Structure 1
Amino acid sequence: MTSHQSFSPDGRPRARALGTDLQGQPGLWNAITDVPGVAVGYQTLIEGEGPLRVGAGPVRTGVTAILPRGRSGLGRPCTAGRYSLNGNGEMTGSAWIDEVGQLSGPVTISNTHAIGASHTGTIQWINATRPDLTDEWLLPVCAETWDGYLNDINGGHVTPEIVGAALDSAQSGPLQEGSIGGGTGMNCYAFKGGNGTASRLIEFGAHTYTVGVFVQANFGSRRELTIRGRRVGEQLAVDNPMETTEWGSAPHRIPAAPGGAGSVIVIIATDAPLDPLQCTAMARRVPLGLARTGTTGSIFSGDLFLAFSTAPDHSSDTGFPHGAPTIGELVPTVRMPWNRMDSLYTAVVEAVEESVLNALLVNADMTGRDGHRSPALPHDRLRDLLAGK
């Protein structure tokens, strides 16, 4: 086992370092970036403390950018499919993915009220990075979860320029997790949440394919949290301010999110050759991985999932929709046999579960607007519980 599989780049322990007994074989970095070509970038905004002043802070937010084929592959489509467990959220561009089963640009993830800035920033960045595509229409994929408990969410702190900087920073390699990028102000199971990632290797004949998962985790109530089949949330010796905070008298002050609410975005990447229906089938397995961590899927949680395949084939080589076959030319495709999909489904479920745990564990306490506080999940107490103490 490599150190990156169990520890973050800054040395903090991930789920595998804390006795969680996770199944499956991870890739080198145990991250979505184990899928060849996938690059991830962040911009993190943390500033100020004390009472909320809209437009001034405190700020606890950011942007995550995922380039499915890296910068060099911009505009070259991947087959794709998506699934909505609960629609109280936003993922732009999904109607076109449903229509043609392709994803041809970056994915950005931020806070709920930054969708407009993310959309504009992505278009500006593509036009600056690939001026040869400036005559094409663009439908960026921008997703969100709500960080208003800790962040000045109405303050407009995520700008198109910040989004462009996140896209510019995207690279391969091991990833930071927790309170970074779009996950900066997020909470999960009434602990500090945010970003988590994991991967699995899949053997198929002479080939080894990779399934990578990236999660922006902002969901679940304390009583639901389950690790290694044990309900541990209420046994962890940490207070629970997020489920006891009440309305305040200050203008624009808001209460903590209802138990279970918040949202979760999950992005799945693989280099296995899949068609759009198979990508959608993988996205439908995400709830099984989330359920292993305890959630029952609150109506106030927007749970949106996207899966794509970076496998090369003649259909993606055409560059559609930025190019098309000549009249009369058929487009061949290559895909996994349906009766061999189970190993990929298993990989999704295992990697989603591990990604959520990594988002919780690679983290620290955070205090945000109006003194709202999100405590980190305590490692020592978790170790004791998992050891039966």
Structure 2
Amino acid sequence: MSINDPHLRTPSGKPRLRAFALALDGTPGRFNAITDVPGVTVGYSTLISGDGPLQVGTGPIRTGVTAILPRLRGELATPVFAGVFSQNGNGELTGTHIIEETGAFSLPITITNTHSCGVARDGTLRWMQRVLPAALDSAWGLPVAAETYDGFLNDINGQHVNFEHVAAALDGATGGAIEEGSVGGGTGMISFGFKAGSGTASRIVEWHDSRYTVGVFVQANFGKRRNFTLRGRRIRPELAAPAVFEGTPRAEKGSIIAIVASDAPFLAHQMKRLARRVPLGVAGTGGYGYHSSGDIFLAFSTANSEAALASGRIARASFIPDVDIDPFFDAVVQAVEEAILNAVVANEDMTGRDGNFVPALPKEWLNNW
């Protein structure tokens, strides 16, 4: 692999986990990203400004918005079969009731900070009215919007995310290699006492004569340093330092949102089964679903678009049998684990409100792993 290989570095040159030659399971897609699933695109709006003491409404600001489009822009009104699983519900993901009821959702997904989740949801509707008004002319919209807490680094009560930032993330959604780390909704996030945020990975699954992709995107903001695990090895003794500096005492408010996408033909109950496997990948990095953690996971399939739109006729959908689903479980667990680690590795130190400091995972430690 060359240094420009997207498996090794993000578009801006930040290292990914595979840059350190660790042995990983499974076969990644071309970009090792959720965007390896055809039609799925990702966009960011990143807000970083100010330093020093917190002044609510002014800053410092360390936040943003992530947008994930499950279909191409002109096809966003076409539902995708989906399932949701909450490992620990101390968080929010809107649109879950209609997903539980019908096994599907439409429109883009947004992820941001806890106190801007409503802005992201409503901003999605404003954006849809502008770019695809026919989708809302005679129907309602129930967008999926999710959140994790960034108040240790960010002026979270300052309401700095606005509709324009949501629109910018949606407008900027693209395929191919995408950024990771402190970008978009992940800008102010922390995992295991290290700077974290946005991460992604993918796996290829061969099934009979077909080849499918499972892609994962995470907003990682969870975990305690003492539990951090890399490829099955608990690494607490080696990484006691550098430590988080708390100019303002930090309460435990960790969470993780994970989005699983696939082009494999699955029905809604099967997507829920995939979502239920996300916690196994989280646990592989040392996340245990503590009380204050919002661990909420959504899985969707881009297949069967005609069945999702059927009206006035019998709908027919193809699907892989449940007895053959195990390789896709493997893919979810593997991609979730790697996406979380990418979110941590593709990062740098960050100082935010009140001088609160979060170190990056030391790269020299990875080189000597």
Instruction: Find the counterpart in structure 1 of residue 228 from structure 2.
Output: 225
2:59 is paired with a residue of what secondary structure?
coil
2:129 is paired with a residue of what secondary structure?
helix
Instruction: Find the counterpart in structure 2 of residue 250 from structure 1.
Output: none
TM-score (norm 1): 0.92
Instruction: Find the counterpart in structure 2 of residue 281 from structure 1.
Output: 273
Q: Which among 67, 70, 76 is matched to residue 69 of structure 2?
A: 67
C-alpha contact 2:74 2:132 (8 A) present in aligned 1 = no
Note the aligned Cα RMSD (angstroms). 1.3
2:123 is paired with a residue of what secondary structure?
helix
Correspondence 1:337 to 2:327 = no
C-alpha contact 1:238 1:378 (8 A) present in aligned 2 = no
Q: What letter corresponds to residue 251 of structure 2 in structure 1?
A: A
Correspondence 1:271 to 2:271 = no
Pairwise CA distance, 1:291: 0.6
Instruction: Find the counterpart in structure 1 of residue 103 from structure 2.
Output: 101
Instruction: Find the counterpart in structure 2 of residue 192 from structure 1.
Output: 195
Pairwise CA distance, 1:20: 2.2
Q: 1:85-115 deviations in whole A, cap 9, x for unaligned?
A: 0000000000000000002110000000001
2:145 is paired with a residue of what secondary structure?
strand
C-alpha contact 2:51 2:353 (8 A) present in aligned 1 = yes
Correspondence 1:6 to 2:8 = yes
Instruction: Find the counterpart in structure 2 of residue 262 from structure 1.
Output: 254
Q: Which among 143, 146, 151 is matched to residue 154 of structure 2?
A: 151
C-alpha contact 1:238 1:375 (8 A) present in aligned 2 = no
1:79 is paired with a residue of what secondary structure?
strand
1:98 is paired with a residue of what secondary structure?
helix
CA distance in 2 between partners of 1:365 and 1:205 (Å): 46
Q: Which among 111, 114, 117 is matched to residue 113 of structure 2?
A: 111
CA distance in 2 between partners of 1:21 and 1:276 (Å): 33
Pairwise CA distance, 1:134: 2.9
CA distance in 2 between partners of 1:118 and 1:285 (Å): 27
Q: 1:290-301, aligned counterparts within 5 Å?
A: 290-301=282-293
C-alpha contact 2:80 2:305 (8 A) present in aligned 1 = no
CA distance in 1 between partners of 2:168 and 2:236 (Å): 37
C-alpha contact 1:269 1:307 (8 A) present in aligned 2 = yes
Q: 1:178-199 deviations in whole A, cap 9, x for unaligned?
A: 0000000000000001000000
Q: Which among 315, 334, 348 is matched to residue 350 of structure 1?
A: 334
Percent identity, aligned pairs only?
53
CA distance in 2 between partners of 1:78 and 1:214 (Å): 17
Instruction: Find the counterpart in structure 1 of residue 359 from structure 2.
Output: 375
CA distance in 2 between partners of 1:192 and 1:331 (Å): 47
Q: 1:209-233 deviations in whole A, cap 9, x for unaligned?
A: 0000000000001101000111113
Q: 1:5-84, aligned counterparts within 5 Å?
A: 5-84=7-86
TM-score (norm 2): 0.97
Structure 1 unaligned runs (5+)? Answer: 248-254, 319-324
CA distance in 2 between partners of 1:365 and 1:314 (Å): 47
Instruction: Find the counterpart in structure 1 of residue 299 from structure 2.
Output: 307
1:6 is paired with a residue of what secondary structure?
coil
Instruction: Find the counterpart in structure 2 of residue 202 from structure 1.
Output: 205
Q: How many residues align?
A: 366
CA distance in 1 between partners of 2:325 and 2:136 (Å): 38
Structure 2 unaligned runs (5+)? Answer: none
Q: What letter corresponds to residue 41 of structure 1 in structure 2?
A: G
Q: Which among 81, 86, 89 is matched to residue 91 of structure 2?
A: 89
Q: Which among 340, 343, 348 is matched to residue 364 of structure 1?
A: 348
Pairwise CA distance, 1:257: 3.1
- CA change 1:42–1:371 in 2 (3 A) is same
1:36 is paired with a residue of what secondary structure?
coil
1:147 is paired with a residue of what secondary structure?
coil
Which stretch of the first structure deviates more once superposed, 206-215 or 375-384?
375-384
C-alpha contact 1:192 1:366 (8 A) present in aligned 2 = yes
Q: What letter corresponds to residue 292 of structure 2 in structure 1?
A: F
Pairwise CA distance, 1:315: 1.1
Q: 1:116-174 deviations in whole A, cap 9, x for unaligned?
A: 11111111000011111232211110000000000000001001121011101101110
